[in-house]
Every structure is written in C-alpha cells, then in structure tokens.
Amino acid sequence: AQSVTQLGSHVSVSEGALVLLRCNYSSSVPPYLFWYVQYPNQGLQLLLKYTTGATLVKGINGFEAEFKKSETSFHLTKPSAHMSDAAEYFCAVTPYSSASKIIFGSGTRLSIRP
C-alpha cells in the first residue's frame, strides 16, 4: 500500500533562511507526487507536482522539489523564507494503479521567525 511520511510536524525557520520540508513515500513504482499548501482557514492549494520528466520541479512562490527515486523522497525547498510562507504543507502521492486516489501525508506546519 502507498504511504507518505512527512518528517516533522512543525518546522520553524528565520526569515531569509532556507526552507526544507521532508517527504518520503513508499511505493514499488514511482508514483505522481505533489505538494499542497494550506493557509489558515483556507482549502489546499497545489504548490507543485511531479508526474514524469525532469526530476527538479518548480512551483509557485519560489518553491521547488526534487524527486529522488533512489531515496524515495520528494523534499520541498525554498532558498529564502518569507513571512508569507507561514502555512501548513502537505505532501501527497497518487499511485499509478489508482489515479483517482491521492494519499496525503500528515502535514508540516511551517513557522517563520522575524
């Protein structure tokens, strides 16, 4: 069965520092991979996705993620954090065998220190 593990339920960084949110998945074949962001009292918004092709994926708001098959990872990064990045971030995976079912990780809350 597919699963998604997000390391760290809460990450705190200083404004201007590197943001690194970790995501690992379990799958016998590479799935489709996603990062979603949820701002307070809002629904989830697609940040970026990996389906096929280039393993480094760029998303909105300066975020990017790299698919590493050998490590079964899809970590999210941003070189310089802004206060507006404070939100909850969800990694998600869709297995090829059942493309309608997306499986979410438990989420990582990102806080930004002034």
From residue 62, alpha-carbon distances to 38, 41, 73, 107 in Å are 16, 22, 20, 20
Q: How far is the CB of 6 from other proteins (least distance, A)?
A: 8
Which residue's entry shows tokens 């404070």? 86
Near other proteins by CB under 8 A, which window of 11-19, 37-45, 65-73, 75-83?
37-45
Type and span of the H or E element at 111: strand 108-113
CA distance 12 to 10: 7
Near other proteins by CB under 8 A, which window of 11-19, 45-53, 70-78, 79-87?
45-53
Residues 68 and 54: beta-carbon distance below 8 Å: no
Q: Which is nearer to other proteins, 78 or 107 (CB)?
A: 107
CA distance 82 to 70: 31
Among 46, 56, 60, 83, binds other proteins (CB under 8 A): 46
The 74-93 contact track toward other proteins, x by CB under 8 A, reads: ----------------x-x-
How many amino acids of this chain bind other proteins (CB under 8 A)? 23
Among 18, 101, 111, 113, binds other proteins (CB under 8 A): 101
